[in-house]
């Protein structure tokens, strides 16, 4: 199926996608704050500049979009129908970078918690998981 907008407009649309302070990230930060956790954001001294850092618990929380970070078996992690080779390469690089950064943080003694965008649909369940995962850090 051909794209219905110009390549310039598509480029502009893609340029508007944020890397920091996304809606899912803001929701997780709000939830953690209501739970009583205090944190730092995007620490430059840690691999990959994790979204949320809980220094007291030596834990980082990564908020991943299902589409960009390829949440396994998630309906939001679909493959675009055009430029398949481009997207395959892009997604593969994203997943490999995530694995490298998570391993590097683990090697430094940090616990890594990944929150997927689709998990924000059930905040009570997410809250329960976060409380358990952070407490066992």
pLDDT of amino acid 99:
97
The span from the CA of 66 to the CA of 70, in Å, is: 5
The H or E element spanning position 100 is: helix 84-107
**How much is the pLDDT for 3?**
64
Domain 20-135: give its CATH superfamily.
VSR Endonuclease (3.40.960.10)
Reported as a pLDDT band with limits 50, 70 and 90, residue 9 is confident
pLDDT at 114 exceeding the cut of 90: yes
Q: Do the Cβ atoms of 116 and 64 come closer than 8 Å?
A: yes
Band (pLDDT 50/70/90 cuts) for residue 18 is: low
Is residue 10 helix, strand or coil? helix
pLDDT tens column, 31-60: 999 999 999 999 999 999 999 999 999 999
Write down the domain spans for the chain: 20-135
Per-residue pLDDT at 28 exceeds 70: yes
Say yes or no to pLDDT of 79 above 60.
yes
Residue 2 buriedness (CB in 10 A; 0-12 / 13-18 / 19+): exposed
């Amino acid at each position: 199926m051909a794209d219905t907008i110009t390549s310039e407009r598509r480029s502009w649309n893609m340029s508007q996608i944020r890397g920091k302070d996304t809606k899912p990230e803001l929701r997780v930060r709000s939830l953690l704050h209501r739970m009583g956790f205090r944190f730092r954001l995007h620490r430059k001294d840690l691999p990959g500049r994790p979204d949320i850092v809980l220094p007291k618990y030596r834990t980082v929380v990564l908020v991943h979009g299902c589409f960009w970070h390829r949440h396994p078996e998630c309906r939001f992690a679909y493959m675009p129908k055009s430029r398949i080779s481009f997207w395959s390469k892009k997604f593969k690089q994203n997943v490999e970078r995530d694995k490298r950064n998570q391993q590097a943080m683990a090697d430094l003694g940090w616990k890594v918690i990944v929150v997927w965008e689709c998990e924000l649909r059930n905040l009570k369940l997410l809250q329960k998981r976060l409380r358990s995962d952070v407490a066992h850090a």
